[in-house]
Amino acid sequence: MHRTLAAVAVIVACAAAALWTATDGLSALTSETARRLAVAREPLPLPRAHLADGRELGAAIRADGRVVLVDFIYTQCESLCTALGSDYQQLQRELRRQGLGDRVRLLSLSFDPERDDPPTLARHQQRLRADPALWQADTIPDPRERTALLSAFGIVVVPDGRGDFVHNAAIHVVDSQGRLRRIHGLGGWRQALADALALR
């Protein structure tokens, strides 16, 4: 009987420790919330990745000293990417209205480089009325670099078997040093902008 109670106590203690770890001390009820809290506490340097024109992503971000709001899309998407596009249109409008283009810019990165070549991305940006001074779109052609970058940002992309993808979506705040600092869900563009401005 005592052995059984001791074994149950050990199992309960292990389960409690696992719950405490998984929820960041019970402050997060999901692994996504825990990840967002961890990034807010300790900025995450971006892995090395190169854009379609050969520039290194981190160097391109650091080059102009602006905070960058990053999302991940593909141009054939008609669901989450459309919602992200709407958020980014709102952000662009707010950057213009407040004259914040010298402090914050927007970057949409496609995870579908086979279809989203530079001309396709340019047409996509035109449809969204993106101002190139405020909002660029690019891709990471190298599959290993792209996988590492998606993993760092917590983006999961799964082919759906019909040529499209199932994926999650967020707005990521990357500081002028190229470090991931905050993550916001769809519709969280106002807070993402506030966080970006607070980093300057």
> Which residue's entry shows tokens 């000293």?
65
Please, are residues 172 and 183 in contact by the beta-carbon 8 Å criterion?
yes
Tokens of 187: 């519709």
Please, are residues 124 and 117 in contact by the beta-carbon 8 Å criterion?
no
The verdict on whether residue 14 carries a ligand-binding annotation is no
The answer for residues whose C-beta is within 8 angstroms of residue 102's C-beta and 6 or more apart is: 66
CA–CA gap between residue 92 and residue 63 (Å, rounded): 20
Tokens of 169: 């979506």
- Annotate 167-180 with b (16+ C-beta within 10 A) or e (fewer): bebbbbbbbbebbb
The answer for residues whose C-beta is within 8 angstroms of residue 121's C-beta and 6 or more apart is: 75, 110, 137, 138, 139
CA–CA gap between residue 171 and residue 158 (Å, rounded): 19
The verdict on whether residue 77 carries a ligand-binding annotation is yes
Q: Which residues are annotated as a binding site?
A: 77, 81
Q: Which residues are annotated as a binding site for Cu cation?
A: 77, 81
